[in-house]
Amino acid sequence: MSAPHIIITAGPTIEPIDPVRFLSNHSSGRQGYALAAALAAHGARVTLVSGPVSIEPPAGAELVKVQTALEMRDAVMAALPADAYIGVAAVADWRPATRHASKMKTDKAGFASLQLVENPDILREVSGLTDRRPRLVVGFAAETASDGGALEALARAKLERKGCDLIIANDVSGDAMGGAENSVLIVSRDEVKPIARAHKDVIAAKLGDSVMALLRAPLRR
């Protein structure tokens, strides 16, 4: 097999309200960056589409920097075709309907009635592509589920809703979102594989191994 092309999204997106304020989340980008590094080390050609983060870019991956969900979607579509798409980014589900050109005054009633519009679901759009769908489409699910059973059920529902091939599910009740460690379940339609709590680099290496193994094998859907 020649080197597979893998697109990974990582980090948060930020959705501007005005020149100084935005809506976003606590994603550090660590898990996506570590996965990009692990797959590049496997010899894959990795395009890493990243929201704003404060960590160093991984060696061997092509970094495409974006800010908003709309920019992230455009960058992903522009990077196709690919053998695999892995959506690790914590894409903001909503964005302000209007981006104010000047700083909003805090005494203005504007904040109380801030209008939001839904962002595109990039993972669902990539899963639903007809001609350019990557052979393997992987999503992440960050859930506050306390036990493994609940987490697996949430992951299975997400697998169907998004139309992807795998969901990597993790419980973010603790500090998984900004912290250095994580534990995950790899959920496909046929099986569930747990990866025990470990540093995000270790989780990424194991996920990278699984992704490369799936790309080497013929995929069933």
Question: Which positions touch ligand C5P (CB under 6 A)?
Answer: 9, 69, 87, 89, 91, 93, 119, 121-123, 139-141
Of 19 and 120, the one with the shorter C-beta distance to ligand C5P is: 120
**Do β-strands 22-23 and 15-16 pair in parallel, antiparallel, or remain unpaired?**
antiparallel
User: Rounded to the nearest whole angstrom, what is the least distance from the CB of residue 26 to ligand C5P in the complex?
Assistant: 14
Of 123 and 176, the one with the shorter C-beta distance to ligand C5P is: 123
User: Rounded to the nearest whole angstrom, what is the least distance from the CB of residue 206 to ligand C5P in the complex?
Assistant: 18
Sorted by sequence, the CB contacts under 8 Å of residue 200 that are 6+ apart come out as 30, 31, 34, 180, 181, 182
C-alpha separations of 145 from 139, 193, 202 in Å: 17, 17, 22
User: Rounded to the nearest whole angstrom, what is the least distance from the CB of residue 198 to ligand C5P in the complex?
Assistant: 20
25 is an active site residue: yes
Of 110 and 156, the one with the shorter C-beta distance to ligand C5P is: 156
User: Rounded to the nearest whole angstrom, what is the least distance from the CB of residue 8 to ligand C5P in the complex?
Assistant: 10
From the candidates 25, 119, 170, 182, which is the catalytic residue? 25
CA 139 and chain centroid, separation: 6
Structure tokens at 116: 């939001």
Residue carrying structure tokens 């991956």:
61
In the sheet that 136-143 helps form, which strands lie side by side, from edge to edge? 61-65, 45-50, 5-10, 84-87, 136-143, 166-171, 181-187, 192-199
Of 114 and 117, the one with the shorter C-beta distance to ligand C5P is: 117
Rounded to 5 degrees, what are φ and ψ at 202?
A: -70, -45
Catalytic (active-site) positions: 25
